[in-house]
Homo-oligomer: A and B are copies of this chain.
Amino acid sequence: MAVTIKDVAKETNLAISTISKYMNGGNVRPQNRKVIEEAVRRLGYHPNDIARGLRSTKTRNVGILISDFDRYSVEVLSGVEKELRAKGYFAIICSHRDSSEKAKNALKFLMAKRIDGIIVDGKLTSEEYIRPVLDQRIPVVGMETVKDKLRMDYVMTDSVAGSYQAVEDLVKNGHTRIGIITGPKGYFTAEERIRGYRRVYEDYQIEVDERYIIGGDYSFQSGYDGMIKLWELENRPTAVFISNYTMCVGAVSAIHHLKIQIPEELSLTTFDDMEFSVAVKPHLSSFRQPQQDMGAKAAELLIRRMNGEYDDFPKRIRLKGTYIPRDSVKRIASDYQLGE
């Protein structure tokens, strides 16, 4: 069996409570300090966090619920874990893979494990599963989602602004027939990105052609298929905005398949700036989400809640991203002035 505080007590002929006090930075007689230090080292004693947790009802573990391990979430996780670790917390990461059943299950077990808090990375997770967590007064921070009925904190990218900037870049370069491949219905981020698209049309008083709005589901295949659909349209668009990374990779694949010249025949801009954007030719204009920052912010906020700071509760943090224009958008003569 592992060595416990008792063993140290015996070894030093001191009381358990004295050892405990020493371990927690309390004052002990200098001579005892030396003896204890010696014994701890010789025995290789490490306090048992489980027992500690039982007493304190704090585990310093936080649950992270994501939908999947993918190119996006890995960035978020990186930010989350870094911030958490720096503050002495550990991350128990679970994926639900878009299964309500698994999400429910994960939350249930995380509760049983007495995690101190939870970060939920949006998407599908039904709110009925979150409520019990909140009821137990366990802080929850949501990312890229909002459940209005739940009294909790949120961190998100300003997706509306992001897609607005991307689409506006297109419009400013003379494009009015702009295709968009969207995320799945009901996704918070997907809705926001569509909203940014529509808002540009509003602000520039251009009429939206609904045929240019192609429903995707954030997958490679839907990006691929979406691009083909757009290209086969009667009055095909002169530019396309892709609303996430994975679909962008799929779309670019389709573009190569169709032998479309970017930007000569079609301008392209996309959400999620990744190394991919500068690996293809031409380099893709894209909107960069501050994913790691978001993760870090979520962790930071959660830590404050776990420490009982509820002065500004609930809070919604919106982080700004950066639109990076590169070489995939071509300036064209606007048929906005010519057309109709």
Task: List chain A positions with a Cβ less than 8 A from chain B.
Answer: 1-2, 44, 46-51, 53-54, 57, 59, 61, 68-71, 73-75, 77-78, 81-82, 85, 90-95, 102, 106, 108-114, 132, 135-136, 220, 246, 249-250, 252-253, 256, 275-276, 278-281
| Chain copies in the assembled complex | 2
Is the beta-carbon distance between B59 and A81 smaller than 8 angstroms? no
Choose one: B51, B71, B91, B220; the contact of A74 (CB below 8 Å): B71
Of the listed residues A49, A109, A114, the one surrounded by the most CB atoms of chain B closer than 10 A to its CB is A49
Instruction: Known A49-B113, A54-B54; judge A69-B78 contact (CB<8 A).
Output: yes
Please name the residue on chain B nearest to A91 by beta carbon: B93
Is the beta-carbon distance between A61 and B92 smaller than 8 angstroms? yes
Identify the 8 closest CB pairs spanning chains A and B, nearest first: A69-B78, A256-B281, A74-B74, A249-B279, A253-B279, A50-B53, A49-B112, A69-B74
Please name the residue on chain B nearest to A136 by beta carbon: B2
Contacts of A69 in B (CB 8 A): 74-75, 77-78, 81
Please name the residue on chain B nearest to A64 by beta carbon: B93
Is the beta-carbon distance between A50 and B59 smaller than 8 angstroms? yes
* Assembled-state Cα–Cα distance A132/B3 (Å): 13
Given A50-B59, A74-B74, output 8 extra A-B contacts at Cβ < 8 Å: A44-B132, A48-B112, A49-B112, A49-B113, A51-B54, A61-B92, A69-B75, A256-B280
Please name the residue on chain B nearest to A47 by beta carbon: B112
Is the beta-carbon distance between B275 and A249 smaller than 8 angstroms? yes
Q: How far is the CB of A69 from chain B (nearest CB, A)?
A: 4
Contacts of A250 in B (CB 8 A): 275, 279
Contacts of A71 in B (CB 8 A): 71, 74
Choose one: B59, B90, B110, B253; the contact of A94 (CB below 8 Å): B90
* Assembled-state Cα–Cα distance A256/B69 (Å): 30
Contacts of A136 in B (CB 8 A): 2
Choose one: B91, B256, B275, B279; the contact of A92 (CB below 8 Å): B91
Q: How far is the CB of A97 from chain B (nearest CB, A)?
A: 8
* Assembled-state Cα–Cα distance A69/B85 (Å): 14
Is the beta-carbon distance between A50 and B114 smaller than 8 angstroms? yes
* Assembled-state Cα–Cα distance A339/B256 (Å): 37
Is the beta-carbon distance between B81 and A85 smaller than 8 angstroms? no
Instruction: Known A54-B51, A78-B69, A256-B280; judge A92-B95 contact (CB<8 A).
Output: no
